Amino acid sequence: MTDLPDQKTHVVVIGGGYAGTLAANHLRQRNDIEITLVNSRPVFVERIRLHQLVAETGAATADYDSLLGDGIQLIVDTVERIEAVGRRVVLASGTELKYDYLIYAVGSIGAKPAELSRVPGAAEFAYSIAELEGAQRLRFALADLPHNAPITVVGAGLTGIETASELAEQGRPVTLLCGGTLGPSLSNRGRRSVAKRLRKLGVSVLEYVAASEVRWNAVALSDGAVLPSAATVWTVGFGVPDLAARSGLRTDALGRLLTDETLTSVDDDRVVAAGDAAVVGQQAHQRERRHALAAAGFAHQRERLATLDRQREAVAALEWAGQGATTTKRLLSGTWPRSSATCVRPRKISPTNVRR
């Protein structure tokens, strides 16, 4: 009698950013897994380097051939929906991928249209650099502007500070609109250091002043002033793709996939999260409570809470990539990761029911 070869477990990773790439490579530690990574672009995008792409001081992309380990299949396509019941992913091209386990690593995006619409003209005239295409558009726009044309950067988080610094180092006149305090996620000492550096670069820092309207050649401010601006860069806002919600999986108010403490979807134990497109259920509740309490406070206090949340989640994203891969591997081996008593524990996965 001829023995049939062992059938490998198929894991599909959605999203080829930091978390998805790290999770896919982490899974290669097992030789009984077939890994497919689905990403909408053929190149890896270093989002934390997009401000350097804008200023032409560095590249923000890398070839997947240099990042993905041997045996990982890359499919360049967009996921339309996840059909968790049938354990398949439907792509924009019409292709359907069957999976045994799914790693949800779609990442985050910048401000959504609804968020931008709160400031008249922002969607039409401001340049977002949260994604590669927006950064490329801004780069081309700057190339057509005189070197002394005024630039306005809206948002004084890390991205706003880095973008303003890069452009000012080129000798461009830059104004940084903070909305609240400069660098709300920084310590007082760190904030003083950043402010000193920005002054040396000639950046005009306007704290507690926000954009109330964006025009093609100016920005109207919350204090009534109008600031000339040949190009306005938008660095505020946080969102995630709505894939989980469109697929019928439970999410929080921001659209992030709800998981238990092991980053397994609360709806399906075959869906595991990695990165900042997911949130542990208890953390989501605590976050909403903090912001509800802050709603009675000042606007800058609410913005500070939102910024601190985003910074903590960004730091945790890479750690969660490894955790998502670890959870998947332990599910395959039948060793469920340690969790609190309140977490729903899925059935043990054995070789006989991994693929049905």
pLDDT at 7: 83
Please state the domain extents for the chain: 9-40+77-108+238-296+317-333, 113-234
The whole-angstrom separation of Cα 131 and Cα 110 is 7
Answer left, alpha or beta for residue 56, where phi above 0 means left and psi between -120 and 50 means alpha.
left
| Pairwise pLDDT comparison (254 vs 296), residue with the higher score | 254
pLDDT at 335: 56
142 has a pLDDT exceeding 50 = yes
pLDDT confidence tier of residue 321, bands split at 50, 70 and 90: low
Nearest in space to 67 (alpha carbons), one of 34, 48, 42, 50: 42
> Which architecture does CATH list for 113-234?
3-Layer(bba) Sandwich (3.50)
pLDDT confidence tier of residue 329, bands split at 50, 70 and 90: low
Number of H helices, E strands in the chain: 10, 20
The whole-angstrom separation of Cα 75 and Cα 298 is 47
Q: Which fold has domain 9-40+77-108+238-296+317-333?
A: FAD/NAD(P)-binding domain (3.50.50)
- Taking only Cα atoms into account, the Rg of the chain, rounded to an integer number of angstroms, comes to 22
CB 193 within 8 A of CB 87: no
pLDDT > 90: percent of the chain: 68
293 has a pLDDT exceeding 60 = no
pLDDT at 62: 95
pLDDT at 325: 61
245-259 average pLDDT score: 95
Q: One fold for both 9-40+77-108+238-296+317-333 and 113-234?
A: yes
297 has a pLDDT exceeding 70 = no
299 has a pLDDT exceeding 50 = no
Lowest mean pLDDT among 23-37, 202-216, 219-233: 23-37
pLDDT at 70: 93
The whole-angstrom separation of Cα 286 and Cα 35 is 35
348 has a pLDDT exceeding 50 = no
- Output the average pLDDT for the chain: 83
269-290 average pLDDT score: 73
35 has a pLDDT exceeding 70 = yes
pLDDT at 131: 92
Please state the separation of Cα 147 from the chain's center in Å. 32
189 has a pLDDT exceeding 50 = yes
69-82 average pLDDT score: 97
25-30 average pLDDT score: 89
